[in-house]
Homo-oligomer: A and B are copies of this chain.
Amino acid sequence: MDYWLAEIITIGNEVLSGKTVNTNASHIGRRLTSLGFTVRRITVIMDDVNEIASAFREAIDRRPKVIISSGGLGPTWDDKTAEGLAKALGVDLELNKTAFNMILEKYTKRNIPLTEERKKMAYMPYGAIPVENNEGIAPGIYIYHNNIDILAVPGVPREMENVLENFINKMLRNKPNLKYLEDFIYVENVMESALAPYVKELVKKYDIYIKTHPKSYELSRPILEIQIAGSGREEEEIKAKIEKVKNELVDVIKKLNGIIRNSL
């Protein structure tokens, strides 16, 4: 298999303390996966300049094709992503004129003065390109560094999704020419441990990804969701491979007295 690695960074104490479930990372993960990327790591860190700088530096050192962070771009004292990213890249934080004009326009349209806190959202690492945010104020921050597409989006889900799409459509340079496909089988009455040796064999035989997700009790009432996933250049080829694996799995399941279900 051919890999286009991606990393996701989530910035926010509320995710660390469990107050907020990290649905932003799931959304970004799904979107990147659908484009053909393999997400290799998600890192959740505090709203702290040094933590943010470390997380970006560590991700850059692992050399993925794309790094996407969410959170920490707002007007408050604890929004420190721009500063942390600048530190990671070893460049200055500066007032970005394009970003400044984007923000100024939004406030002046409504006759709201541009305070220091509002202006703060226009500060970006040197060399950054602001990404339009049609759902809020703070623009995204895009930098192409060491052949890596680096993007920082706001943490508010609606804004995160919007800025991410604007980035994918207009700026993303490392576009994998890969398709990703997946299919599922739902099974009752087969223990995960009983299926395990067959799955292991099929993974080897087809060089494909198969994962069993137990959804109930292994012993008394086993229910499994079996995920079969592959990526490659030719959609038809992956589809055919997944179909073959599915058929072999269904045969095994029947042999083990399993019942195929239409859904969970």
A interface list, Cβ under 8 A from B? 10, 13-23, 25-33, 38-47, 51, 58, 74-78, 106-107, 110, 112, 115-118, 135-137, 156, 191-197, 199-200, 203, 209, 211-214, 217-219, 227, 229
Contacts and interface: CB of A to CB of B under 8 A. Distances in A.
A195 B77 CA distance: 10
A231 to B, nearest CB: 11
B17 A75 contact: no
Contacts of A21: 21-23, 26
Contacts of A218: 136-137
Given A16-B40, A42-B44, 7 more contacts: A13-B209, A14-B227, A15-B29, A18-B32, A18-B39, A19-B227, A41-B45
A192 B74 contact: yes
Copies assembled: 2
Given A16-B40, A218-B137, A196 B75 contact: yes
A136 B39 CA distance: 29
Given A14-B227, A117-B197, A213-B14, A22 B22 contact: yes
Contact of A41 (B19, B26, B44, B118): B44
A136 B215 CA distance: 11
A217 to B, nearest CB: 7
A82 B29 CA distance: 26
Nearest to A22: B22
B25 A39 contact: no
A211 B41 contact: no
B15 A42 contact: yes
A227 B22 CA distance: 18
Contacts of A14: 211, 213, 227
Contact of A136 (B43, B116, B217): B217
Contacts of A211: 13-14, 47, 76, 78
